[in-house]
Structure 1
Amino acid sequence: MNRLALIFSIITLNLNLLFPQHLLTVAELCSPFSCNHHANDPIQFPFSVPENQTTRCGFPGFDLSCNSDGQTLFPLGEAGHLIVGEISYMDQILLVSDPNQCIPKRVIELNHRWPSSFRFYPYESPYTFLNCSRTNGTTLEMSMLPGDTSIVSCMSGGNYTVVAAFDSTAEEKMLERGREWKCEMIERVNVAFWGPGMQYEYDYDRHGYYPMDLSNVFVQLGWDIPGCGDCMVRGGSCGLVGDSGLEVACYIPASSSSGLPKSAKYGLILGAGIPGLVCIVGLTFYTSSRVSARRNQTRRYTNTESSPSIFPQPIILTLGLDLPTIESYPKTILGESKRLPKPSDNICPICLSEYQPKEALRSIPECNHYFHADCIDEWLRMNATCPLCRNSPQSSSGVAGSGR
């Protein structure tokens, strides 16, 4: 290596250290976007709006769009679109509604044809839709129905009423009361409806709460991949790594550890860096005169200075467990006696609610701690440790088991 090339190499290296362009990751370059220019509903990774952002700003299958009214749309291909009501990036939940205010009809039409990147979460339940008419020709009213049903007015007509039954018991009640009305089943679907005040943890005394009309509620959609919830909790931002591929990393901004404004940081870098750079150039002239005699030492020096290990790398966080791993943990349906291996285990440590008969519990094999299945499933999606003893289930072998 001649003297001029060596000087150029060292200057380039130090400029890269002073101005690390390679750290301008996708997560930093892709600013949050909003269809109505409000900061309270940002569209950010894994979602993106291709018309306004580059393809590397979002994950495949998470494209959104905007309409002229400033609404965020969830495209469904030839099936049209739904309206995005809210996105919880920490919980990885998307709330969507129907622009025609008849989401049950859209759910029936889209049954088994939802985008593969999403699943109904977190309160997926079976629903049966029935077309009912009274035997005397009058309209079926809400007061006549069992408590675990709702009317779907947007699908009903003058002489018939569409009813949604929230479980198999309610469906049987509707089909058995043939003297008062006649019902025909339209469709059975598994879906996660959500509306203000809706109660999902079943109460055997009050039989839960259901809206009078199910027409204009939301559908909850969750996603597992990419898993960025824990990254968001830590104050980071997710993004794709590099210019190609689907590797996702969590980027923790270095500025979060310092209260200095960016301009002050650049001033410090320039104030300290430029004099140092001048010293390095002078030192290079001195050392380059001995290149021929100390070729091996110089090569090792150059390799060391050029090593990628000196560049700060993205902080890739270990997130929670994947869904198949979580579902492999033993699941128990609690009997009437509410008996567990430890008599003191009668309260879920996560929600602090007492276990009730017929509730689904799940245990972590390594430590045999029990929790409500819904509570621990959501916890393990965000954290790969037991919430009680902090043991890592990932290190456990033979996690699959059967419920008691």
Structure 2
Amino acid sequence: MEIIIQFLLFSSSILIFFSISTQSANSCKPESCGGTLGPEVRFPFRISTRKPVRCGYPGFELSCNSQKETILKLPVSGEFRVNSIDYSSQILSMSYTGSCLPSGILNFNISGSPFRGAHVRNYAFLNCSSWEEIMAYASAFGYRPIPCLSGSNFTVLATNLLSQEDVPPICRRIANVLVPANLASAMDSLEEIDLHWSDPACSYCEKQGRVCGFKDDSSLEIGCHERARSSGISRRAKYGLIIGVGIPGLVCIVGLVCHTCGLVKLLCLRRSLNSELPTVTVPDGRLVTNGLDKPTIESYPKAVLGESRQLPEPSDGTCPICLSEYQPKDTVRSIPECNHYFHVDCIDEWLKLNGSCPLCRNSPDGSTATPCSSLSSLTLITISSTQSSGNL
């Protein structure tokens, strides 16, 4: 039974360990802010109010606003709306949270962040006369008007033509800005900007169809991990369940079956021994036994079991009379003729009624007791059935 209990404790610890591991893995699973156009957020990014610190890399914290938009806050330039994240190319596209992205670009600064411009372009912003006067220049040289920076009497244009000769005489340069413009929208009123990150380097994991993450819980070393299965149970957790439940469970079942068979066998033996005690009735109601006297019983060897519960002679670890396992410091007595051991209290009571060994039926003089078929000749006498029914 002790081995079975140890296996149960071991399997429980395995289950707890893999349960914690699975919960830990699930706590970092990808998610989004809930918007229909919001990007999937996973390592190295994390939504700071929802995920533990170890689910993301330092400096890659995102948040969600009341409109369920994904927000990145740069240390200097403020908040931007994240429109998409390309984990293979390690590029995120974002737009200004205000109504006019170019106004944010004029003072754009990525210092203090882990990002750099993905496609940096040097733009010149020009303050020109009204649109009607500058329209010919705009169409000829590809200048793009910025309506959100323009007024009724002037028009702001953006161009990546840096030569002073290209500036129309009715315009003046107001700023030169390095813009990490999105290639797809660079000529479309600067609607998006792209940022790239190089550390942590996770693109190789994505190209292998795996996901990036920390190798352990104590360092910033990066490794590739298998994607979570749709069932929500990882392969590691499944193996843990098989090892933690299957094998110990099988051992426990086998142990319980063996233990039960042993108990049944001893119980049948005890019932057999009890049923074999013969009775004879006499008219005067005297009770005569064929057992041993106290001095004789006390002369039989006794022993006190040690911590190992090992008996001086090979024997079963269970008392055949009470069916209890021997425990350290139990006192046992043996039958000299056969060296069978029993609890002292159990065998003493037995020998008072029957002088033979309960197991092999050897008597103190070395003879064998009468077989079961002829036990009716023994001299264990009880009260007659008629007196028993009248007096008891």
Normalised-by-shorter TM-score class: 0.5 to 0.7
- Name the amino acid aligned to 2:218: S
> Aligned equivalents of 2:21 and 2:133: distance in 1?
66
Question: Deviation per CA, 1:83-116, whole angstroms, max 9, x where unpaired?
Answer: 11111111111111012232222111124x4442
> Aligned equivalents of 2:34 and 2:15: distance in 1?
39
Contact kept in structure 1, 2:22 and 2:237, CA below 8 Å:
no
Shift of 1:40: 6.8
Q: Residue 34 and residue 150 in structure 1: after superposition, are their counterparts in 2 closer, same or farther (change >3 A)? A: same
Q: What's the secondary structure of 2:129's corresponding residue?
A: strand
Q: Residue 21 and residue 187 in structure 1: after superposition, are their counterparts in 2 closer, same or farther (change >3 A)? A: same
Q: What's the secondary structure of 1:140's corresponding residue?
A: helix
| 2:177 matches 1:189 | yes
Q: What's the secondary structure of 2:106's corresponding residue?
A: helix
2:165 equivalent in structure 1: 172
| 2:115 matches 1:118 | yes
- Name the amino acid aligned to 1:165: T
1:133 equivalent in structure 2: 129
> Aligned equivalents of 1:71 and 1:142: distance in 2?
39
Q: Residue 92 and residue 233 in structure 1: after superposition, are their counterparts in 2 closer, same or farther (change >3 A)? A: same
Q: Residue 73 and residue 18 in structure 1: after superposition, are their counterparts in 2 closer, same or farther (change >3 A)? A: closer
| 2:153 matches 1:159 | yes
- Name the amino acid aligned to 1:173: D
1:350 equivalent in structure 2: none
TM superposition outliers: structure 1 runs of 4+ over 6 Å: 259-267, 279-282
Q: Residue 145 and residue 92 in structure 1: after superposition, are their counterparts in 2 closer, same or farther (change >3 A)? A: same
TM-score by length of 1: 0.52
Contact kept in structure 2, 1:140 and 1:160, CA below 8 Å:
no
Contact kept in structure 1, 2:137 and 2:143, CA below 8 Å:
no
- Name the amino acid aligned to 2:121: S
Contact kept in structure 2, 1:11 and 1:281, CA below 8 Å:
no
> Aligned equivalents of 2:212 and 2:58: distance in 1?
14
Q: What's the secondary structure of 1:64's corresponding residue?
A: strand
Q: Residue 73 and residue 222 in structure 1: after superposition, are their counterparts in 2 closer, same or farther (change >3 A)? A: same
Contact kept in structure 2, 1:25 and 1:242, CA below 8 Å:
no
RMSD of the TM alignment (CA)? 4.2
Contact kept in structure 2, 1:128 and 1:164, CA below 8 Å:
yes
Contact kept in structure 1, 2:76 and 2:112, CA below 8 Å:
no
Question: Deviation per CA, 1:275-328, whole angstroms, max 9, x where unpaired?
Answer: 56559999xxxxxx9xxxxxxxxxxxxxxxxxxxxxxxxxxxxxxxxxxxxxxx
Q: Unmatched 5+ residue regions in structure 1? A: 199-209, 283-288, 290-404
> Aligned equivalents of 2:239 and 2:219: distance in 1?
33
Shift of 1:117: 0.3
1:86 paired residue among 84, 90, 93: 84
Question: Deviation per CA, 1:211-238, whole angstroms, max 9, x where unpaired?
Answer: 3x34xx1000010111111212222222
Q: Residue 281 and residue 218 in structure 1: after superposition, are their counterparts in 2 closer, same or farther (change >3 A)? A: farther
Q: Residue 263 and residue 222 in structure 1: after superposition, are their counterparts in 2 closer, same or farther (change >3 A)? A: closer
Shift of 1:168: 2.3
> Aligned equivalents of 2:203 and 2:23: distance in 1?
19
> Aligned equivalents of 1:17 and 1:267: distance in 2?
7
> Aligned equivalents of 2:180 and 2:76: distance in 1?
23
> Aligned equivalents of 1:159 and 1:125: distance in 2?
28
Identity of aligned residues (%): 29
2:281 equivalent in structure 1: none
> Aligned equivalents of 1:254 and 1:103: distance in 2?
38
Q: Residue 150 and residue 40 in structure 1: after superposition, are their counterparts in 2 closer, same or farther (change >3 A)? A: closer
1:45 equivalent in structure 2: 43
Shift of 1:147: 3.1
Q: What's the secondary structure of 1:91's corresponding residue?
A: coil
Larger Rg belongs to:
2
